[in-house]
Amino acid sequence: MPALARSTIELRIRRQDTPSAAPRWEEFSLPQQPDMSVISCLMEIRKRPVTRRGAPTTPVVWDCSCLEEVCGACTMLVNGVPRQSCAVLVDTLPGGVITLEPLTKFLVVRDLIVDRQPMFDALRQVKAWLPIDGTHDPGPGPRLAESVREVAYEFARCMTCGCCMEACPQYHGRSDFLGPAPIAQVRLFNAHPTDALNVAERLETIMGRGGLADCGNAQNCIEVCPKEIPLTEAFGELGRQTLALGLKQLFRR
Ligand code: SF4
Ligand code: SF4
Ligand code: FES
């Protein structure tokens, strides 16, 4: 068995009891066990919620579901970087205190849980779905060309974790920007042959306020995406699609 990088894990966790409560920091100290992830540390704290100084406290609250970096629910700042806490192994972090904080671009519900609803609202705004009316059997649908399947596979891996929204300097409480993940989903759904009728509507949404033009091209989003989704490729392609639509609308007048 490989030697453990530390014998004790020191954690500093930003806590907040309710959305309107003042945040506070609490420190915890745990014996390290092999292959511990950040979530295993939180589970250990939940078993015995006592601070490093021995004061009893409430268990730290966090969100998770899949525990295999697929659902995005456990995303938080680990040492200041947005990551899935189920997938971060303690041994891969530098020595010293590990800091855990909730994402800063969403409202805190409690402790490390944030409300990612604005991201889902933005997905609704860009109509990130294939409309099937359900009144008749639509049949098997068109076969996807390999080039479309490749694009669809890349973008369908988005788990709405929010890492890209956290890293984007243009996405914040005072901006209307829809954010990188919802805009990139337009690339996915506009590529699908079943949904050619909604392509222009989606493009018009991202041509408007809070759309593509608000992206400053800093590329922080692509740096932090755990699924390595080609977000900036999406913005480039959508830029071409919106330009073509704009020209078409101009000449139609
Ligand atoms: S390229 Fe920069 S500004 Fe544009 S969505 Fe990504 S992080 Fe935000
Ligand atoms: S694009 Fe990547 S970082 Fe952004 S929400 Fe999707 S999976 Fe997360
Ligand atoms: S619990 Fe699903 S990504 Fe971590």
pLDDT in tens, 11-60: 999 999 999 999 999 999 999 999 999 999 999 999 999 999 999 999 99
How does strand 75-78 pair with strand 98-101?
A: antiparallel
Distance from Cα 23 to the centre of ligand 3, integer Å: 24
User: Which ligand 1 atom minimizes the distance to the CA of 220?
Assistant: 7
What is the per-residue pLDDT for 5?
66
Closest C-alpha among 46, 61, 50 to residue 27:
50
What is the per-residue pLDDT for 4?
62
Longest Cα separation, the chain: 73
What is the per-residue pLDDT for 2?
52
Residue 1 has pLDDT above 70, yes or no: no
Asked whether the beta carbons of 174 and 155 are under 8 A apart, the reply is no
Q: Which residues pair with 113 in a beta bridge?
A: 110
Ligand 1 proximal residues by C-beta, below 6 Å? 167-168, 170, 180, 215-221, 231-232
What is the per-residue pLDDT for 142?
82
**What's the whole-number mean pLDDT along residues 59-74?**
97
Q: Is 168 in the pocket of ligand 2 (CB under 6 A)?
A: no
Distance from Cα 225 to the centre of ligand 3, integer Å: 14
For helices 180-190 and 199-207, what crossing angle results, to 10°? 160
**What's the whole-number mean pLDDT along residues 235-240?**
96
What is the per-residue pLDDT for 196?
78
Asked whether the beta carbons of 90 and 39 are under 8 A apart, the reply is no
Cα gap 100→83, rounded to integer Å: 10
Query: Rounded to two decimals, what is the model's pTM?
Result: 0.93
The predicted-structure confidence for 157-195, as pLDDT tens digits, reads as follows: 999 999 999 999 999 999 999 999 999 999 999 998 887
What is the per-residue pLDDT for 3?
53
188 versus 5: the higher-pLDDT residue is: 188
CA angle 213, 114, 225 (to 5 degrees): 50
- Model confidence at 6, in pLDDT bands (50, 70, 90)? confident
Closest C-alpha among 25, 61, 56, 55 to residue 42:
61
The predicted-structure confidence for 118-161, as pLDDT tens digits, reads as follows: 999 999 999 999 887 777 787 787 888 999 999 999 999 999 99
Q: Is 122 in the pocket of ligand 2 (CB under 6 A)?
A: no
